[in-house]
Homo-oligomer: A and B are copies of this chain.
Amino acid sequence: MVKIGLLGLGTIGRGIVEIINERREYLKAATGVDLRIKTALVRDINKKRDVDLSDIILTDNFEDILGNEEIDILVEVTGDLESAYDYITRGLKAGKHIVTANKAVVSKYFEEISQLAAEKDLAFLYEASVGGGIPVLKPLREQLALNRIDQVQGILNGTCNYILTRMVNENKEYDEVLKIAQRLGYAEADPTADVKGHDTLRKLRILASLALQGKIQEEDIILYGISNISKLDVENIKKMDSTIKLIAEAKRVYNGFTAIVQPTIVKNNNYFANVNMAFNSISFTGNFVGELKFYGAGAGKDPTANAVLSDCLDIALNSYRKGNPLGKESLVNLNSELMGRYYLRISKASRDILERLEDMTKELLTDEQVIKNKKEGFDLAIITKLVKLSSLNDLIANLGLEKDQYFLAKIME
């Protein structure tokens, strides 16, 4: 019997309990492993919970789990950053394997926790932290280990992708779709971490570190969220026979890397254009395997719980790659070299702004008549020439725009 200490009984925690309840006998017959949740850590022991918790001891004291020698694996699904760090490091020091779905803690403390787990000869697995239910980190770590991986790209956040998909499909404004998404459970009450791109950035940090084998941390990644996009932008993008996605990308370039999360305009016949609603997709380019793509549910109770439990099974069956897979390559941050063609829309623009953008402008998307007739400022939209992102940003800074006054998106070639 393999005994789990479950830290957190929120959505994912409940999903884990439900899957074990449903499939425990099947699992025993198929693999010989009897997975059982011994104790679950919750804030409020007396809260009514809509799940069968028989045989599970509830506690509001982490020490009850830490001090229980019967417990082999800590499954951390609290979602909280600092308490998760505390539980995980203390758990490892107490000799317990760790499985987590918490991208924030993996992203922030990746090297430190990996190192500690390696020293203690314990598992530190986190399949659910990237791509939700998509099996992607284990294939990356175990099946692409011989490859030099040159690129990782992905749609990594279901909330953003859901909002963008519905804006494109239904010609609605951002705020309206965000409210729908919140009502339907696709966005949280405070959507900041998703729509500003922080969640995507954390996942890219994890993927990029594993794939490029260098130390690529949160602060190494340029970040743009989606919250400034407007209905007008979507209309312009659709005229380009394209759609818009929040794409995370890390690339090996020369002796370094680039890493960025940004709204990206993709042609309708591009692979990523068909990754819609709350789905995620991740692609890798390896020197031997070529391009690989993985697609599936990027979040949700059952897919995420399945990913967590497949890590637990790997520990129970000793079928995972041991040791610290984080690379030792020292790669230089070359984000200052990022180039591309960009879509830029500025609200309340003036003739002056239009003129100052002139050197960078390849195509003006705003009608000349609109520019001529608007005295109070107009919505200016351009497609740039091939330019350095840093130069474009310098220019934007010089224009003295408010943060929410413009929207910038890369055009994928």
Q: Which residues of A contact B (CB under 8 A)?
A: 19, 23, 26-27, 29-32, 127, 133-135, 138-139, 142-147, 213, 269, 271, 274, 286-297, 300, 302-303, 305-307, 309-310, 313-314, 317-323, 325, 327-328
Contacts and interface: CB of A to CB of B under 8 A. Distances in A.
Identify which of A269, A271, A293, A297 gathers the most chain B CB atoms within 10 Å of its CB.
A293
Contacts of A134: 292
Given A296-B289, A296-B291, A303-B289, A142 B133 contact: no
Interface of A (DSSP majority class): mixed
Nearest to A18: B288
Contacts of A145: 27, 30-31, 310, 313
A303 B290 contact: yes
Given A292-B294, A293-B296, 12 more contacts: A26-B146, A27-B145, A30-B213, A31-B321, A32-B323, A138-B142, A145-B310, A145-B313, A288-B306, A290-B296, A293-B293, A319-B322
A139 B300 CA distance: 19
Contact of A142 (B23, B147, B297, B310): B310
| Interface-central residue, A290, A305, A317, by most chain B CB under 10 Å | A290
A207 to B, nearest CB: 15
A317 B146 CA distance: 13
B288 A133 contact: yes
Contacts of A26: 146
A321 B314 CA distance: 8
Contact of A322 (B147, B309, B317): B317
A145 B290 CA distance: 27
A138 B314 CA distance: 12
Question: 6 nearest interchain CB pairs?
Answer: A135-B139, A293-B295, A135-B143, A288-B306, A292-B296, A143-B310
Contact of A323 (B31, B289, B322): B31
B146 A310 contact: yes
A163 B306 CA distance: 38
